[in-house]
Structure 1
């Protein structure tokens, strides 16, 4: 207990020293967010519609599978591959729908209780659909895919 009190006393005295050191910045830069590693799965079940996203992350590189199964619409499923930057994931989604292979960008925002898909204006570029302006991707009106157990 005395040792713990001594540590707190030393820390308090050190905190009172307000003389800035010219070699160190006044406020330290924020620590970079640590990327999660391994597999994470997310799903949204809304009425007769289903969205399932399975992601594997290694550093900031991500790959996995994405399934959209909407009632009375063609089901499409395929693979995703991309990167995590901050709390935003931008990936290429290569999928099969109506007997045709297509590629488009998808964006997801990591949240504490799940992941939200982003939507924005898209254009075709070199055979795939990409976001016109990534800074205008909207995540606010998207239903949240909840984290689920990967089975």
Structure 2
């Protein structure tokens, strides 16, 4: 009789267990990976070249950024930042004329392009005073392109 009660209890317990349903907000499903795929983004008008290779888009956005602008010193280095509401803001650590420097840079995602943001800088010229006041002109858009080997 005890065995029968134990078996009945087990059957009732197992049959009352249901698979929990998890409700997911569709707006939250838009992930960093889909907004900013890993790969290369380039602007090249034969006088100016800006290249940004996104190498990691998980918790932080990481990549390699390089500027070769007409009549300016070429610089290249690493980028680490965060994506928030289609705006990527991070720290660019670069080498120019043998000196390592850092400055804050920003890009807005516009389809398959990145538009660099501009705004008033702090007194030392390394960070934006107000990231909410940035403008993103479409003069030098970085377009997603195949990465060159």
Q: TM-score, normalised by structure 2?
A: 0.73
Question: 2:137 aligned with 1:140, yes or no?
Answer: yes
Give the Å deviation of 1:150: 1.9
Q: Distance in 1 between matches of 2:129 and 2:139?
A: 19
Structure 2 stretches of 5 or more lacking a match?
1-24
* Number of matched pairs: 121
Whole-Å Cα distance in 1 between the matches of residues 115 and 68 of structure 2? 17
Q: 1:53 and 1:42 mapped to 2: Cα distance?
A: 5
Q: 1:88 corresponds to which residue?
A: 87
Q: Which has the higher helix share?
A: 2
- Checking the alignment, whether the CA contact within 8 Å between 1:56 and 1:64 is kept in structure 2 is yes
Greater C-alpha Rg: 2
Report what 2:53 is aligned to: 54
Unaligned runs of 5+ in 1: 1-28
Given that 1:94 and 1:103 are in contact with CA atoms closer than 8 Å, whether structure 2 keeps it comes out as yes
Query: How large is the RMSD of aligned CA atoms in angstroms?
Result: 2.0
Match of 2:42 in 1: 43
Distance 2:74 2:64 in 1: 14
8 A Cα contact 1:118 1:142, kept in partner:
no
Q: Which runs of 4+ in 1 moved over 3 A?
A: none
* CA distance in 1: counterparts of 2:53 and 2:46, whole angstroms: 21
Q: Which residue of 1 aligns with 2:76?
A: 77
5 Å-filtered alignment, 1:1-150, equals: 31-32=27-28, 33-36=30-33, 39-124=38-123, 129-150=126-147
The two structures have a TM-score, normalised by structure 1, of 0.72
Kept in 2, the 8 Å contact 1:39–1:150? The answer is no
Q: What is the rounded CA distance, in whole Å, between the counterparts of 2:48 and 2:139 in structure 1?
A: 14
Q: Is the 2:38–2:57 contact (alpha carbons within 8 Å) kept by the matching residues of 1?
A: no
